[in-house]
Amino acid sequence: MKKENAIGVFDSGIGGLTVVKALMERLPTESIYYFGDTARVPYGIKSKDTINRYAMEIAKFLLRKNVKILIIACNTMSSVAFEMVQQISSVPVLEVIDAGARKAIRESRSRVIGIIGTPATINSNAYARKIHSYDPNARVVSQACPLFVPLVEEGWLDHPVTRLTAQEYLRPLLAENIDTLVLGCTHYPLLKPLLREIVGPQVVLVDSAVAMAERVAGLLEEKGLANNASLPVEYRYYVTDVPLRFHTIAERFLGRGLGNIELINLPL
Ligand code: DGL
């Protein structure tokens, strides 16, 4: 495996770009290949079997591109398909749940932690299990937010409909006096300003993207895979569809042009 090979990152849509952004900032000498399954998003309301099958297809696609590490930048796939992907992967695989759970434990003082995520992530109970493995006394309150992903993919980041939806979803969590809220879906950091207004300044918002970038940096060093050579790096974006607003939302979010974007036809 060559150090110059890219880091492979994947998600069901644009949400995983939150992780890509953190990686670009933390590891500017690393190339990144991103796969967003924009034709089949959302995954979070699909069955485990379907999520597993899609995750395996994408992982194999990126492995064929010779990535040196695979990052599942999607909580839904992380909570359902991590073990399966790990079994077929010849390179290290990282997922986002562990990073978010650890960060929540570090941040929470009251030990009452709220989790929001897709129905698949919340039903898997992956966050509660992880958090309890680190702190059995923590109280975890979860809420599935199935409408958030389509709202984000639509670009309605600060829209009255999104605000009302968020108020409705967060009400039960706020009633439990959470002091930390885990954004358990990589799409949700795009809603951060709106969520911040609703939860108020006291509640810590945990976004696992930054924690993930730290873990990747550590792992690459440890495995001798860090690319210390100077630029240029290569950023590639593979998507299965280019919805109307994809470019605008993705570029606004990344704070840079997407450049090399390639449409991949299904089946992979
Ligand atoms: N961004 C994803 C997650 O972290 C998936 C959302 C979806 O496709 O439903 O869960």
User: How many beta carbons lie within 10 A of that of residue 241, not counting itself?
Assistant: 16
pTM: 0.91
Using only the alpha carbons of the chain, give its radius of gyration: 18
Rounded to an integer, what is the distance from CA 47 to the centroid of its chain? 19
Catalytic status, residue 74: yes
Backbone region of residue 224 per phi and psi (left: phi > 0; alpha: psi in -120 to 50; beta: other values): left
The predicted pLDDT at position 171 comes to: 98
User: Is the CA virtual torsion 122, 210, 70, 95 positive or negative?
Assistant: negative
Q: Which of 149, 178, 185, 254 is catalytic?
A: 185
Residue nearest to atom 9 of ligand 1 (CA): 44
Q: Which of 14, 185, 212 for mutating ligand 1's site (highest number of atoms within 8 Å of CB)?
A: 185
Which are the contacts of 66, defined by CB distance < 8 A and separation ≥ 6? 5, 6
216-241 per-position pLDDT tens digit:
999 999 999 999 877 689 999 999 99
Query: What are the start-end ranges of the H helices in 89-134?
Result: 96-107, 119-124, 126-134
The predicted pLDDT at position 81 comes to: 96
Catalytic status, residue 145: no
Atom of ligand 1 nearest to the CA of 76: 10
Atom of ligand 1 nearest to the CA of 43: 8
Query: What percentage of the chain has pLDDT greater than the value 90?
Result: 80
Q: How far is the CA of 42 from the centre of ligand 1 (A)?
A: 6
Structure tokens at 33: 């290949």
Q: How far is the CA of 170 from the centre of ligand 1 (A)?
A: 18
Q: How far is the CA of 10 from the centre of ligand 1 (A)?
A: 11
Which are the contacts of 166, defined by CB distance < 8 A and separation ≥ 6? 145, 148, 191, 194, 195, 198
Q: How far is the CA of 231 from the centre of ligand 1 (A)?
A: 32
Residues with CB under 6 A from ligand 1: 11-13, 15, 41-44, 74-76, 118, 121, 149, 185-187
> Are the beta carbons of 43 and 73 closer than 8 angstroms?
no
The predicted pLDDT at position 168 comes to: 98
Query: What percentage of the chain has pLDDT greater than the value 70?
Result: 99
Q: First vs last Cα of the chain: how many Å apart?
A: 24
86-131 per-position pLDDT tens digit:
999 999 999 999 989 999 999 999 999 999 999 999 999 999 999 9
Atom of ligand 1 nearest to the CA of 16: 1
Closest by Cα among 39, 89, 41 to 62: 89
Cα 149 from Cα 145, distance rounded (Å): 8
Atom of ligand 1 nearest to the CA of 74: 4
Closest by Cα among 98, 129, 120 to 42: 120
CATH number of 98-208: 3.40.50.1860
Cα 95 from Cα 77, distance rounded (Å): 9
67 pLDDT above the threshold of 90: yes
> Are the beta carbons of 190 and 17 closer than 8 angstroms?
no
Q: How far is the CA of 12 from the centre of ligand 1 (A)?
A: 6
Fold of 7-95+210-263: Rossmann fold (3.40.50)
Residues of the chain with CATH 3.40.50.1860: 7-95+210-263, 98-208
